[in-house]
Structure 1
Amino acid sequence: MSATFTVGLLLLLSAVGFWMGRTRAVTVAGGRIATLHSVPNYYGSFVALWAGLPALVLVLCWMALRGPVIDWLVLDGLTPEQVEIWARVMLPPNDLSALLANIAEETDALTETHRQLLLININNLAAGQAQYVNAAVVGAIQPAADHLNSLRNLANWTLFAAVAALSAGGLAFTWSRINPSLRARNNVERIVTWLLILCSTIAVFTTVGIVLSLLFESIRFFTKVPVTEFLFGLHWSPQTAIRADQVGSSGAFGAIPLFTGTLLIATIAMIVAAPVGLMSAIYLSEYAPKKVRGLVKPVLEILAGVPTVVYGFFAILTVAPFIRDMGAAVGLSISSQSALAAGIVMGVMIVPFVSSLADDVINAVPQSLRDGSLGLGATRSETIKQVVLPAALPGIVGAMLLAVSRAIGETMIVVMAAGLQANLTLNPLESVTTVTVQIKSILVGDQEFDSAKTLSVFALGLVLFLVTLVLNVVALRIVQKYREKYD
């Protein structure tokens, strides 16, 4: 019995509850709907919510606790002999000797790392993937795999029975309470209000969690690397030695080249996207015939859904060679991977965002403002410049902010068209890299999480978050200033 089937049953009972509640309301009213406190649909929603929500909370709690509890029961059911057989095959000599000593002393022999490795082997065997498990330990952990499957089946059936009972009980209880004086609408709206509060609280705590995770890991990084070196250093080379006896670089974590490259590419992208996107939005909303608008606007919105890797291929196969050849024709030396190529293609990618959002904002400007301006003798272009655009400025600023955020956060185009080399330069003809590209590059593959190299990505993310926050605050002040003028 899978959890999907259980959720399906829950949805079915909720739908049945809606129908039964609505039908019951009509029946107790004797067909006179006016005698009911609320319309019949509210009675149906009242029954459906009580049939679904308590059981849904049970499902979520069960799914959160089932895995850790089952893992604990499986490991607790292993005998010392089974653990020893597994350890002799899977663990290095140093870990093995310590584990055997702990078993002999009847203490907790398995460390957290050992537990995770053993659980991976047991889960693979339980899933029928014995090819991923060392053949020498299959016999020792096969009983644990069988125990795991039996516990999962028991948990799924228990959850199914509990959900069915709770949902049916909630359905029957609320159905029996339906009468013309029941304030169904008030109850439903109160539940929905609390659900909205819960969702907004989850969103807030998620944001707080993200910020705190960045902050705590960044503090760990700054205990290894000084803040001044990170913020004002001019050289970025995060390679460090993994072991004390290994020959390797001590690393250089000056982030100025990364932030410079990010701003350079984002600036080039906005130089392309802002005027093109805004002018196309003005044309589509103010000048274009309906047929042209009906054709061009959907095409622009389709371009917004093109995967960024496609733009990356276009940049590295078409735009970058074209720029390099044009530079060679006039005697300029242009890198095969340049900030200019990445910025231009990124700007093309962002144009649909700016155009679509700005077009919607311009269309939202009341027609009465246009009519008043035209009635006073202004031309169409004067009306657009002096009335429409100032009135739509808050929305246009929002569109530009979204475009800037997309440009700062883009990774694939920069990887393919601008490269990975952290150069401190403002020359758009040279290869640069960005913060997001370095985050992606550092976290690829197996990394030691306690190293300065890995922790540096959290510091980069924190600074990027703060920069974005400052931009949003400044933009909000601009929006408020001009909105007061046109309220």
Structure 2
Amino acid sequence: MPAIWIIAIVLVIASAGYFFARRRAFASAGSDPRQLHSLPVYYGANAAIAAAGPALLVLLVWAIAQPLLVNSALTQYLPADIAADEGARSLAMADVNRIAGGLDAAVAQGAMTENDAQTLNVETTDVRAMLASVGVALGADVDAQTLALAQRYRAATAFGNMLRVVTIVGLALVGAAIAYKLTNKDFRARRYVEGAIKLMLIAAASVAVLTTVGIVLSLVFNTIEFFKAFPAKDFFFGTRWEPSFSGRGGHSDLGFLPLIWGTLFISLIALIVAVPVGLFAAIYLSEYASPRVRAFAKPMVEVLAGVPTIVYGLFALLTVGPLLLNAFGANGVFQLGWMSGGTAAITAGLVMGFMLIPFVSSLSDDIINAVPQSMRDGSLGLGATHSETVRQVILPAALPGIVGAVLLAASRAIGETMIVVMGAGAAAALSMNPFDAMTTVTAKIVSQLTGDGEFNSPETLVAFALGMTLFVITLALNILALYIVRKYREQYE
């Protein structure tokens, strides 16, 4: 039974529990709500939460745990050499899962019966062609052992699904029955309902923390595996980036310095564009613009923040790059010969700067507007002009927040990918020339994970080391921004 049907059944049980518990509470009070300890809605809500809460929680855990347990149980049937190699084991189980999914699709589409799927063998059936007919493409022919594992996988999954239905529906019924039995006019339903809601709020608040922990752990473990296969000294202090997917492994040059230099250089160009434009726009909108102009201009500036980065990348590739080449190329208007192609650090930096303008502008505008009006009035009352008030009173008061906004924009620029991939090129170079092609850490993470190397090779695992290093850098920038804002922010009464 699909999970959506299980959820529907649980919700029906919860709804029935709500109405029956509410009616029981009224009956125990002689239909006089004044005799109830809690409001009538709390009695019904208590039964609904008791029915749906534990059942849906178990359903979520079951959805995560069942595939892991089935894969772990089937690993024992793999050949010893494959089971001992983590990468090979993952690839083998991925093939098993894909074939099992293909058999499910064939049964669902009527291409075969359930009995045919269970008795299928490679000697009498071309499994690869059969699965291709139902839209499941395989990269190689299916051998007997893989097919047998796929059939075991389907059988174990079917048993787990049946057990899931019985467990979750039974849990919902038991929860509703217990809540119904406890319901009477003296039952403190409000305390239990508010406690359950508090737990849900805590769980929601924990999602971000647990997600961050999961990201960090996944990066840390794979980074450790990388440094087991590649020297950390060569990674952090190497000046050449020349990965090889030809099977040479540690003979690749995986120096980090060209990538971090390209990242910081392109980000610097972006900030040179975004900070003055965004800050001046914020000053105008908050201090000089009329309400009508502000109501129109501010949303128009913030529209830039909603443009997908792939669109910015296309803009860099098709518009900004050719314009710069036409101006600074050997055959350009000025015939300077500074650019040899449209993809360069300055191309990506300029477009990334356009993307960051609304970040700097919106944050700075909010910070400037947070400066108390009394400070403006006091400055104007002492004879200062409007421009002098902005320059000598408002901006110094808002400066810590503006610095924090710039650092947050910097961390956003460092993590950008698509604009760099399409606008800056793919060359890892230690160059001071903004008209040279460069690349960044994020661009190389993409290229390394989409290469032809094995997942457990240094050339692939280096993506996790790059990601971990970039995570530490952006985290440090964010912490620095928060520290500056909190330490130097003036407190106003």
Say yes or no: TM over 0.5.
yes
User: Per the alignment, do residues 183 and 362 of structure 1 end up closer, same or farther by CA in structure 2, a change over 3 Å counting?
Assistant: farther
Match of 1:165 among 164, 170, 176: 170
Aligned-partner Cα distance in 1 for 2:297–2:45: 43
The CA RMSD over aligned residues, in Å, is 3.7
Q: Does the 8 A contact of 1:234 with 1:256 survive in 2?
A: yes
Q: Which amino acid in the other structure matches residue 335 of structure 1?
A: S
Q: Does the 8 A contact of 1:18 with 1:47 survive in 2?
A: yes
Aligned-partner Cα distance in 2 for 1:443–1:135: 22
Match of 2:47 in 1: 47
Q: Does the 8 A contact of 2:235 with 2:255 survive in 1?
A: yes
Match of 1:297 in 2: 298
Per-residue deviation at 1:142? 7.7
Per-residue deviation at 1:478? 1.5
Q: Does the 8 A contact of 1:241 with 1:250 survive in 2?
A: no
Match of 2:225 in 1: 220
User: Per the alignment, do residues 426 and 145 of structure 1 end up closer, same or farther by CA in structure 2, a change over 3 Å counting?
Assistant: closer
Q: Does the 8 A contact of 2:301 with 2:358 survive in 1?
A: yes
User: Per the alignment, do residues 113 and 342 of structure 1 end up closer, same or farther by CA in structure 2, a change over 3 Å counting?
Assistant: closer
Match of 2:350 among 344, 348, 369: 344
1:239 aligns with 2:244: yes
Aligned-partner Cα distance in 2 for 1:233–1:471: 24
Secondary structure of 2:251's match?
coil
Aligned-partner Cα distance in 2 for 1:281–1:462: 34
1:456 aligns with 2:443: no
Q: Does the 8 A contact of 1:125 with 1:133 survive in 2?
A: no
User: Per the alignment, do residues 292 and 45 of structure 1 end up closer, same or farther by CA in structure 2, a change over 3 Å counting?
Assistant: farther
Give percent identity, aligned residues only: 46
1:127 aligns with 2:127: no
Match of 2:123 in 1: none
Tell which deviates more after alignment, 320-329 or 431-440: 320-329
Q: Does the 8 A contact of 1:26 with 1:32 survive in 2?
A: yes
Aligned-partner Cα distance in 2 for 1:162–1:353: 49
Match of 1:66 in 2: 66
Match of 1:2 in 2: 2
User: Per the alignment, do residues 141 and 29 of structure 1 end up closer, same or farther by CA in structure 2, a change over 3 Å counting?
Assistant: same
Per-residue deviation at 1:387? 4.5
User: Per the alignment, do residues 58 and 280 of structure 1 end up closer, same or farther by CA in structure 2, a change over 3 Å counting?
Assistant: same
Match of 2:287 in 1: 286
**1:123-162 superposed matches below 5 A:** 123-128=101-106, 130-131=131-132, 132=137, 152=157, 155-162=160-167
Q: Does the 8 A contact of 1:260 with 1:426 survive in 2?
A: no
Aligned-partner Cα distance in 2 for 1:135–1:124: 14
Q: Does the 8 A contact of 1:70 with 1:152 survive in 2?
A: yes
Q: Does the 8 A contact of 1:126 with 1:145 survive in 2?
A: no
Q: Does the 8 A contact of 2:71 with 2:93 survive in 1?
A: no
Q: TM-score, normalised by structure 1?
A: 0.80
Match of 1:266 in 2: 267
Match of 2:125 in 1: none
1:448-483 residue CA offsets vs partner (Å, 9 max, x unmatched): 123221122222222212222322332233112222
Secondary structure of 2:339's match?
coil
Match of 1:255 in 2: 256
User: Per the alignment, do residues 184 and 288 of structure 1 end up closer, same or farther by CA in structure 2, a change over 3 Å counting?
Assistant: farther
Per-residue deviation at 1:202? 4.9
Match of 1:405 in 2: 411
**1:313-332 superposed matches below 5 A:** 313-327=314-328, 328-332=332-336
Q: Does the 8 A contact of 2:316 with 2:423 survive in 1?
A: yes
Aligned-partner Cα distance in 2 for 1:148–1:216: 28
Match of 2:448 in 1: 442
Aligned-partner Cα distance in 1 for 2:259–2:45: 54
Q: Does the 8 A contact of 1:308 with 1:413 survive in 2?
A: yes
Per-residue deviation at 1:408? 0.7
Tell which deviates more after alignment, 293-302 or 39-48: 39-48
1:82-111 residue CA offsets vs partner (Å, 9 max, x unmatched): x9xxxxxxxxxxx89x99xxxxxxxxxx97
Q: Does the 8 A contact of 2:15 with 2:48 survive in 1?
A: yes
Match of 1:310 in 2: 311
Aligned-partner Cα distance in 2 for 1:50–1:216: 39
Secondary structure of 2:456's match?
coil
1:258-279 residue CA offsets vs partner (Å, 9 max, x unmatched): 1111011111111111222222
**1:90-129 superposed matches below 5 A:** 114=92, 116-128=94-106
Match of 1:190 in 2: 195
Secondary structure of 2:453's match?
coil
User: Per the alignment, do residues 253 and 125 of structure 1 end up closer, same or farther by CA in structure 2, a change over 3 Å counting?
Assistant: same
Match of 1:359 among 359, 362, 365: 365
Q: Does the 8 A contact of 1:125 with 1:142 survive in 2?
A: no
Per-residue deviation at 1:157? 4.6
Per-residue deviation at 1:238? 1.7
Aligned-partner Cα distance in 1 for 2:218–2:148: 39
User: Per the alignment, do residues 405 and 72 of structure 1 end up closer, same or farther by CA in structure 2, a change over 3 Å counting?
Assistant: closer
Structure 2: where are the runs of 5+ without partners? 83-87, 107-129
Per-residue deviation at 1:203? 3.6
Tell which deviates more after alignment, 268-277 or 130-139: 130-139
Structure 1: where are the runs of 5+ without partners? 84-94, 100-109
Per-residue deviation at 1:431? 0.8
User: Per the alignment, do residues 305 and 112 of structure 1 end up closer, same or farther by CA in structure 2, a change over 3 Å counting?
Assistant: closer
User: Per the alignment, do residues 11 and 264 of structure 1 end up closer, same or farther by CA in structure 2, a change over 3 Å counting?
Assistant: farther
User: Per the alignment, do residues 69 and 480 of structure 1 end up closer, same or farther by CA in structure 2, a change over 3 Å counting?
Assistant: closer
User: Per the alignment, do residues 9 and 215 of structure 1 end up closer, same or farther by CA in structure 2, a change over 3 Å counting?
Assistant: same
Q: Does the 8 A contact of 2:28 with 2:185 survive in 1?
A: yes
Aligned-partner Cα distance in 2 for 1:38–1:330: 82
Q: TM-score, normalised by structure 2?
A: 0.79
Per-residue deviation at 1:301? 2.8
